[in-house]
Amino acid sequence: MNAPTHTPLRILLADDHPIFRIGLRAVIQQDPGLTVVGEASTPLEVTQWLAEGECDLLITDFMMPAENQNDGLRLLETIRRHWPDLPILVVTMLSNPGLFREMLALGVKGVLNKASLVSELPIAIAHVQRQKVFIAESISQALLQDGEVRPDKLLERDPLSPRELEVTRLLAGGLSVSEIAAQLNRSKQTVSAQKVNAMRKLGVPNDAALFIYLQEHGLS
């Protein structure tokens, strides 16, 4: 009897620096369960590749200079609109908490710092495979310093109700409010209210802060 085979996770790499793509590929190729199926150096090349090929994960630089597109938010918005189910890991050298919040609000599965990719990229990919969100330590610290998570609230928080805890765990697993509502047979309005109540009790103002809290406390 033949041993069961597992299809490798197919990854598309996008970065305007060829040397950095070589480094990314070298890290990925250390895991036999991963394979690089394509590379792109501009936002246009990314969308053209996705229109013609298939992958299970996009790992992309946030800033890839291109005509009429000088920031990564537009690329992320385009991908979300046309390929809403494609997991995305963003790598960046930026340290702007506002941009990190917007990336996470667009549904990316992880934000990583280029300086720590060797150690954090395998962990981030493992999170994606478990349908969880990964936020690099340096990104978490930038958001914490920006007041995303208030330590005083974390020490003196109200306990979550069983349903609120259930919703936050599913959010940490990468599900959207709509998906949670369908899974739990609740209305979107009910799930949204439970999410808002949980965030209020935890002292976190937005999704980025919630992901950090869940990750820091082992709930993600």
Query: Could you tell me if residue 82 is inside a domain?
Result: yes
**Model pTM greater than 0.75?**
no
Identify the domain containing residue 52 by its residue range. 9-145
**The domain that contains 210 carries what CATH number?**
1.10.10.10
159 with 128, same domain: the answer is no
pLDDT one-digit tens code per residue, 50-85? 999 999 999 999 888 665 555 688 889 899 889 988
pLDDT one-digit tens code per residue, 4-45? 457 899 999 999 888 889 888 998 989 999 999 999 999 999
102 with 188, same domain: the answer is no
Query: Could you tell me if residue 71 is inside a domain?
Result: yes
Query: Could you tell me if residue 77 is inside a domain?
Result: yes
3-state secondary structure of 1: coil
Decide which of 145, 172, 192 is a domain's last residue. Answer: 145
CA 218 from chain center: how many Å?
A: 16
Q: What does the alpha-carbon distance between residue 107 and residue 118 come to, in Å, rounded to a whole number?
A: 23
pLDDT given for residue 13 in this prediction: 95
In which band, very low, low, confident or very high, does the pLDDT at 148 lie, cut at 50, 70 and 90? Answer: low
pLDDT one-digit tens code per residue, 10-19? 999 999 888 8
pLDDT given for residue 147 in this prediction: 59
181 with 73, same domain: the answer is no
Please indicate whether residue 218 or residue 76 has the higher confidence score (pLDDT): 76
61 with 161, same domain: the answer is no
Q: What does the alpha-carbon distance between residue 6 and residue 9 come to, in Å, rounded to a whole number?
A: 9
Q: Which residue has the tokens 């036999």?
A: 32
% of the chain exceeding 70 in pLDDT: 85
**The domain that contains 102 carries what CATH number?**
3.40.50.2300
pLDDT one-digit tens code per residue, 178-210? 888 888 888 888 888 888 888 877 777 777 777
Query: Could you tell me if residue 74 is inside a domain?
Result: yes
Query: Could you tell me if residue 3 is inside a domain?
Result: no
Signed CA dihedral, 139, 143, 144, 149: sign only: negative
135 with 31, same domain: the answer is yes
131 with 104, same domain: the answer is yes
Decide which of 145, 171, 195 is a domain's last residue. Answer: 145
13 with 102, same domain: the answer is yes
Average model confidence (pLDDT) for the chain? 81
Domains in the chain, number: 2
198 with 122, same domain: the answer is no
Sheet holding 88-92, edge to edge: 34-40, 9-14, 57-61, 88-92, 110-113, 134-135
pLDDT given for residue 71 in this prediction: 65
Decide which of 145, 168, 202 is a domain's last residue. Answer: 145
36 with 119, same domain: the answer is yes
3-state secondary structure 54-93: CCCEEEEECCCCECCECCHHHHHHHHHHHCCCCCEEEEEC
Q: What does the alpha-carbon distance between residue 138 and residue 140 come to, in Å, rounded to a whole number?
A: 5
22: which 2 tokens? 């070589």
